[in-house]
Amino acid sequence: MKLNYRDKVVLGILLAIVILVASFVGLVKPKMDAIKADKLVLAQKEEERDQVQTKIDGIVPLTNDINDIYAETKKLTSDFVSYDKILRTSDIDQYMQEYADENSVMITKLDLTELAEGAANYYYFTPTYVGESMLEASDLNGNVMQNVEEDKAESTSLNERTVEQSLLARYAVSIIGKKEGVWSFMKAIEDQDETVLIDSVRIADYTFGELKDENGNTIQEAGEGESAVDMVISLYSVYEMQKPNTDAD
């Protein structure tokens, strides 16, 4: 078939169009594949960003929780004798002497033992009932034993607690004074805010000066004289907790 000039021109134009379309398709397909790949990478990056943002959002509440726990711990440990004060015995000697001066007793000996680890025991009162088993047997309605259990609830709870360890130093204190002064001295130790407990007390003359003649007649009334008193005092301490570095970038 013989083509004239016009047919040849039309055919040439068609071939050119086909070549352009093929070239366009060849160029567009890789671009589409690249766009799909980029979208996948973008989705992954957005997921990573969301994960990082979630962690960032959790930092502030976590920081607040840490600071709250630290503040609560500081509050709980504020009752303990400071570690530095136990190491510097002169500080304890000083306030013991202040108590003695305020209550008109004389300190004759102060001995501090070496600091060691010791148990911070709980001290509590446990109610007792004579013949409790018989009481229980007679309590047909259970009302009486319910009251007994309520009376014992606090001591039962404390008895079940774990005894924690702390730093412990013991002080042997010997004083001389009148009954009122000795009582007030011990009360001052009891009332101070730190964890200082009187473990034992030995009074040489529990009458504080009562004197009788050979016939048993009272020459001097009880409480009019002085007595030597020995006591052992326990001082509890803990190491100071370092403040957590929650302000770091």
Q: Taking the CB of residue 99, how many other CB atoms lie within 10 A of it?
A: 19
Q: Which residue has the tokens 């130093």?
A: 169
pLDDT of the chain along its 249 residues, tens only?
Answer: 555 666 556 566 666 665 665 555 555 566 666 666 667 777 777 777 777 777 766 667 777 777 777 777 677 666 666 766 766 667 777 878 888 999 999 999 888 777 777 776 655 567 777 777 777 777 777 787 788 777 777 777 766 666 667 788 888 899 999 999 999 999 988 887 777 888 889 999 888 877 776 776 766 677 678 899 999 988 887 776 677 777 655
Query: With contact defined as beta carbons under 8 Å apart, do 86 and 92 qualify?
Result: yes
Same domain, residue pair 31 and 141:
no
Same domain, residue pair 193 and 104:
yes
Query: With contact defined as beta carbons under 8 Å apart, do 107 and 100 qualify?
Result: yes
Give CA–CA dist 15/21, Å, rounded. Answer: 10
Same domain, residue pair 65 and 136:
no
Is 203 a domain residue? Answer: yes
Q: Nearest Cα to 224, choosing from 208, 204, 211?
A: 208
CATH code for position 204: 3.30.70.60
Is 248 a domain residue? Answer: no
Q: Taking the CB of residue 172, how many other CB atoms lie within 10 A of it?
A: 14
Q: Which two tokens stand for residue 242?
A: 């370092």
Same domain, residue pair 155 and 214:
no
Q: Taking the CB of residue 174, how many other CB atoms lie within 10 A of it?
A: 16
Contacts of 97 (CB under 8 A, 6+ apart): 107
Same domain, residue pair 178 and 200:
yes
Same domain, residue pair 172 and 218:
yes
Give CA–CA dist 246/74, Å, rounded. Answer: 16
Domain limits at 72? 1-77
What's the domain count of the chain?
A: 3
Is 105 a domain residue? Answer: yes
- pTM, 2 dp: 0.56
Give CA–CA dist 158/125, Å, rounded. Answer: 10
Same domain, residue pair 99 and 34:
no
Q: Nearest Cα to 182, choosing from 166, 167, 153, 204?
A: 204
Same domain, residue pair 156 and 223:
no
Write a three-state SS string for the chain: CCCCHHHHHHHHHHHHHHHHHHHHHHHHHHHHHHHHHHHHHHHHHHHHHHHHHHHHHHHHHHHHHHHHHHHHHHHHHCCCCCHHHHHCHHHHHHHHHHHHHHCCCEEEEEEECCCEEEEECCCCCCCCCCCHHHHHHHCCCCHHHHHHHHHHHHHHHHHHCCCEEEEEEEEEEEEEEEHHHHHHHHHHHHHCCCCEEEEEEEECCCCCCCEECCCCCEEECCCCCEEEEEEEEEEEECCCCCCCCCCCC
Same domain, residue pair 90 and 129:
no
